[in-house]
Amino acid sequence: MEIENPLPVDISRQELINLKQKAITIRKKIVKMLYLAGSGHTGGSLSIVEILVSLYFKVMKYDPRNPQWEERDRLILSKGHAAPALYAVLSEAGFFSEEDLWTLRKLGSHLQGHPDSKATPGVEISTGSLGQGLGIANGLALGLKLKKSSSRVYVILGDGEMQEGMVWEAAMASGHYRLDNLCAILDNNNLQIDGKVSDIMSIYPIEDKLRAFGWNVLTIDGHDFESILSALKIAEKTKGKPTFIVAKTVKGKGVSIFENKVKYHGVAPNEEEYRIAMEELKQQEEELRKYG
């Protein structure tokens, strides 16, 4: 179900093209990082690109020169295995050098397979043990409310992760404490490491369940910038309850050989796949330039 009454998005045609270009750039960086590392999570990194680009380049408040700026918005990547996407965006936003990206998973690098808040500028919380991100986000949101801060907390979860019991305990608490400064976003690509989420342990109807837990729930196309930005705007304006955005996404989005393939959940591209992927992304850039 799409948003029935989306709020208008204050974005020009050129800004929209720029965001789409940014998404292609991020995807190229993700593919290159994973290829050079020889390991990592391809599918779930590529599926959240538009979500992260929307947050970091249109919505969130932050200062890359001062990552601990008190007034910043907070982003928790609960599905920490998608770290390459977060790293690529943080680099693009100026938190650290692009050259650092090519050290992914190397000994001594500050960019490991899962985010490390003690090593990487811009990473709020170390994640990777699935199910913990929403509970952490609750604590941050409660703390910000106690300080009467206007900052917001965003948390990105995986749909396989929604099978974890602690997610639902946290979801109950979010609703109980009316955390309207909290927005959760579900990367709903319906694939996890062993197959389809709907086959392994169905989480559906996810929207009905979350509404029963006291959430404002929106369902969108997770690759459409205007839908994402509209939903984030609704979340910001919603008072008295947290907002959960179910973003319908495609695992491996942007590269045809990876799309909707469970094989690429935790497999990096080989040399031939890397060549094909970069060529496809280059073609997407060329198509986009026609409209720029």
Q: Where are the domains of the chain?
A: 13-289
> What's the pLDDT at 290?
86
Question: Which pLDDT does position 291 carry in this prediction?
Answer: 78
What distances in angstroms separate CA 198 from CA 201, 204, 250, one per listed residue?
6, 7, 15
Ranges under pLDDT 70 in the chain: 1-5, 292
pLDDT of the residue at 292: 67
Q: What angle do CA 69, 70, 74 make, to 5 degrees?
A: 85
Contact call for residues 226 and 11 (beta carbons, < 8 A): yes
Tokens representing residue 263 in the block: 């094989």
Cβ-Cβ contacts under 8 Å for 227 (sequence gap 6 or more):
2, 3, 6, 220, 221
How far, in Å, CA of 56 to CA of 72, rounded?
Answer: 11
User: How far apart are the C-alpha atoms of 171 and 190, rounded to whole Å?
Assistant: 20
Type of residue at 83: A
Q: What is the pLDDT of residue 7?
A: 76
* Angstrom distance (rounded) from CA 221 to CA 239: 23
What is residue 10's predicted lDDT score, i.e. its pLDDT?
Answer: 84
Class level of CATH domain 13-289: alpha beta
- The H-assigned helical ranges of the chain are 13-37, 43-46, 49-54, 83-93, 133-146, 165-176, 197-200, 206-212, 225-237, 271-289
pTM exceeds 0.85, yes or no: yes
Burial of 1: CB neighbours in 10 Å, binned 0-12, 13-18, 19+: exposed
